[in-house]
Amino acid sequence: MDSDFIHSVIKQESAGNANAVSRTGARGLMQLMPGTASQLGVKDSFSPEQNVHGGTQYLKELLQRYNGDAVKALAAYNAGPAAVDRYKGVPPYRETRQYVQRVVRDYNKSKQSPGKSKEKSTDKPKAAPIPNDTPSTVERAAR
């Protein structure tokens, strides 16, 4: 996984606060729900190492499920795979659409930074338009 992609998710999820707890109960840097954390083998969601490892694994699983489509994977990370499957794409939830836009914007910005080395990965999400009819598109959400 591209570390810039993970950093963009962390920035949006918790702003880098390893002790963050959402109003819905998501915890840690990548805001794992307790049930998801348990399924991923995360015993302490407030442990940065365990949380990032579990969150990264979950993102990999979502990328595989959606054939490398980073927009759908991000939407599923935020709203759940059932919502993405139900709507056959990004659900019409304002929070989810804004979440996807923010992560993609931050990721693309990180890749455009001067002197930033381009990482290679075997997990390459496909390019896709950002939902909500914005003029921007995802160049490559994970290289």
Residue type for 7, please? H
Q: Among residues 13, 49, 119, 139, which one is catalytic?
A: 13
Is 13 tagged catalytic? Answer: yes
Beta-carbon contacts of 109 under 8 Å, excluding residues fewer than 6 positions away, are: none
Two tokens, residue 121:
């990965």
3-state SS, 92-138, equals CCHHHHHHHHHHHHHHHHHHHCCCCCCCCCCCCCECCECCCCCCCEC
Q: Which residues are catalytic?
A: 13
